[in-house]
Copies of this chain bind each other. A is one copy, B any other.
Amino acid sequence: MDAFDIEAPADPDLEAPVLVEGLPGVGHVGKLAAEHLLEEFDAELVRRVYSEHFPPQVTVEDGRTTLASAEVYAVRDADRDMLVLTGDHQAGDGPGHYRLTEGFLDVAEAFDVERIFAMGGVPTGELVEEPDVVGAATTDAFVDDLETVGVEFRENEPAGGIVGISGLLLGLGERRGFEAACLMGETSGYLVDPQSARAVLEVLQEAVGFDVGYDALEDRAEEMQEVVERIQQMEQGASAPSDEDLRYIG
């Protein structure tokens, strides 16, 4: 495998699709929202991206393994076609974030994407009953459009900026001529947060034009929370070689 390896299991004709990204992050808001879309709609896998910049890892489900990757699915059940980017990992190192994001933008370019929606959470440090959706975008026009559908743009938020692949989809995307925005649901930051994911999806629903139910969202969040907890348990003495293991000399 080279530094990158992109499979293209399908190459459907899409009409001016938007790219919607949801990868792991605060409150797992973005990933939960992306997974909900993929479950509720017909989704066709169009790209799978492998890279040495992902963690050296396979996931296991029912005994079958899958190499760390990100996936792009085509969804055609909305007013505008969507490409949904999701996966289980951010990059493992700084330059890797840049290189992976450029790879995702290459995919977006190949499908003539013009607008990108990155989804994530913004931590409040306390429980939020009715989470707002905070926004950031690369153009004033995109800011205006999103204000219309209820996104809040605040003077100094998020104070720490937006890091990881969501941030670079905006930063590098702008430099390559995409219009990009990040939709961040308020969340405590401690748990997988279905309320926050729903708030983000309701905004996206208005912006892109689709019709989706939210009944399954809480169950989905609970499942994800269980997985997160199992992994946290595992990681105390986990199957990952610890630093100590790495220095072991037989």
Contact = CB atoms under 8 A, between A and B. Distances in A.
Consensus secondary structure, chain A interface: mixed
Given A56-B98, A60-B157, A239-B184, A65 B249 contact: no
A110 interface: no
Interface stretch (A12-20, A84-92, A195-203, A206-214): A84-92
Interface in A153-199: 153-165, 167-168, 170-172, 174-175, 182, 184, 188-190
A154 B184 CA distance: 36
A232 B63 CA distance: 35
Q: How large is the interface on A (under 10, 10 to 19, 20 to 34, 35 or more residues)?
A: 35 or more
B99 A52 contact: yes
Interface string A1-32: 10101000000000000000000111010010
Nearest to A60: B136
Given A239-B25, A250-B227, A64 B138 contact: yes
Contacts of A155: 61-62
Given A5-B175, A67-B171, A245-B90, A240 B163 contact: yes
Given A60-B158, A66-B171, A161-B239, 9 more contacts: A1-B172, A25-B245, A26-B238, A56-B163, A63-B137, A67-B168, A90-B246, A158-B234, A184-B239
4 A-B pairs with least C-beta separation: A67-B171, A63-B153, A189-B237, A56-B97
